[in-house]
Amino acid sequence: MSKRVLTTESGAPVADNQNSATAGVGGPLLVQDQQLLEKLARFNRERIPERVVHARGSAAYGYFEVTDDVTRWTSAKFLNTVGKKTETFLRFSTVADSLGGADAVRDPRGFALKFYTEDGNYDLVGNNTPVFFIKDPIKFPDFIHSQKRDPFTGKQEPDNVWDFWAHAPEATHQITWLMGDRGIPASYRHMNGYGSHTYQWTNAQGEAFFVKYHFKTNQGIRCLSSEQAAEIVGKDPNSHQTDLLQAIERGVNPSWTLYVQVMPAAEAADYRFNPFDLTKVWPHADYPLQRVGRLVLDRNPENVFAEVEQSAFSPNNFVPGITASPDKMLQGRLFAYADAQRYRLGVNHTLLPVNAPKATTAQNYGRDGAMALRNGSRHDKNYEPNSYQGPAETGDALGAPLAVAGWTGTHAAPLHTKDDDFFQAGELFRLMSEDEKKRLVANIAGGLSQVSREDVIEKNLAHFYAADADYGKRVEEAVRALRED
């Protein structure tokens, strides 16, 4: 078999890829050496901006299979038949650290799922926790700045982390999740995934329902203690990536069972918790889990950069039967996620193979921009409406309309009967075993005790006391003990 010929970017054959061209033996390099200059210039441009959050990630392809009839709640085609399968791409990630960070760290995990449906791509962007630190997107940049590297010290600072949380009492619920046993999953395969936000489903009759997604791992929950995680990070910073890759290569395909909680839209206004508050859960006693189907990962990406790093998700990618709810954090992310990818990858990032629809073809009037691959021909117009049989609107709404009323302005979220910032955090604490409580308190105290200002410590302690008196007392005692050492 003859060898393939190495060429330049323009396709010209390369005669020598081992030695640069020089002015005589041992002389200076020549600027006319096309191969040398092209290789160096391209090498300088190999990296693209990493994600501001969720930079460190792993992913795999798979499928989603419907196991239960949910057509009474949604008209989404990919969910309309028991046994129906849809190709998927799932990206896991840590949130706060950079692309070069370690996997086994105490941090929420992203759980971003792309369904390649016959109605186009549906992106479900969530985490491995059912709640989050804040409830309004206007606070998101400030929150992330507090968790990222300090501009002066160049490292994450407990002063910044806990100072922000001291001024964000709604974070107490998520802090209790993060500092508890599930704060460091043993692997991506051994954790749950959640849509976290509230979404709207609409059935064929036009009835609206609010839903929350729960992907329960079929491998069982496994977590790491802080000590175990520190040891693993020292041995293999890529531990989660290694585990996912090798499991699928061995044919041990991880799977999750999807459940949803379903709330008739009419019940939202009078529910005891604000159903659109990302810092709150819906207790299962109020809205039980309804099984939907099974998610299986069975194929690794062939190229991490092309398929994982260039993958792009946006919660604004809906399909008929599924739309957004008034969840403020979700509303903010409808813009922010897609815009982040336009910056990172360019306006035509949706044409990349990992992001392009697979079960249908995108047809619209988007044109030009960097790396445009689909600009149409002389017969295709770039405006709509037109008289040339170009793609046209359907007139069919994605979901049922929601009634709105009141004055425009910057409003705090409406309060429901149980809408304080601490009740659910206290409920979570009281569900824990004695050993779980001890580990939770130790994890919180380990960070809070490093804060330099007493007033910041006191503000955070007040939040834990408000959640549960015993919770606050234990944290206070642990912090004081560490500060006296």
The rounded distance, in Å, linking the Cα atoms of 370 and 345 is 9
Find the mean pLDDT for residues 80-106. 96
Instruction: Tell me whether residue 127 is one of the annotated catalytic residues.
Output: yes
129-188, pLDDT tens digit by residue? 999 999 999 999 999 999 999 999 999 999 999 999 999 999 999 999 999 999 999 999
Beta strands in 248-398 (DSSP E): 255-264, 290-299, 322-324
Cβ-contact 316, 334 below 8 angstroms: yes
Q: Among residues 121, 127, 128, 274, which one is catalytic?
A: 127
Instruction: Tell me whether residue 240 is one of the annotated catalytic residues.
Output: no
What pLDDT shows up at residue 312?
Answer: 97
- The 3-class secondary structure across 25-54, one letter per residue, is CCCCECCCCHHHHHHHHHHHCCCCCCCCCC
What DSSP designation does 126 have?
E
Contacts by residues 177-180 (CB-CB < 8 Å, ≥ 24 positions apart): 177/129, 177/131, 177/428, 178/106, 178/107, 178/108, 178/129, 179/106, 179/440, 179/443, 179/444, 180/428, 180/432, 180/436, 180/439, 180/440, 180/443
The per-residue pLDDT of the chain, averaged, comes to 95
Q: Among residues 54, 173, 240, 463, which one is catalytic?
A: 54
User: In sequence order, which residues have a C-beta less than 8 Å from that of residue 158 and are 6 or more positions away?
Assistant: 447, 448, 450, 451
Cβ-contact 133, 98 below 8 angstroms: no
Residue 373 pLDDT greater than 90, yes or no: no
What pLDDT shows up at residue 370?
Answer: 86
For residue 294, the SS3 value is: strand
Q: What angle do CA 88, 93, 94 make, to 5 degrees?
A: 165
Residue 365 pLDDT greater than 90, yes or no: no
With CA atoms as reference, report the closest residue to 198 among 290, 140, 153, 262: 262
Question: pLDDT band at residue 412, thresholds of 50, 70 and 90?
Answer: confident
Better pLDDT: 288 or 403? 288
Question: pLDDT band at residue 405, thresholds of 50, 70 and 90?
Answer: confident
16-51, pLDDT tens digit by residue? 999 999 999 999 999 999 999 999 999 999 999 999
The rounded distance, in Å, linking the Cα atoms of 330 and 324 is 7
The rounded distance, in Å, linking the Cα atoms of 98 and 56 is 6
With CA atoms as reference, report the closest residue to 190 among 164, 163, 216: 216
> Residue 292: how many CB atoms within 10 A of its CB?
24
What pLDDT shows up at residue 60?
Answer: 98
Record the pTM. Answer: 0.95
Residues in the chain: 485
State CA 468 to chain mean position distance.
30
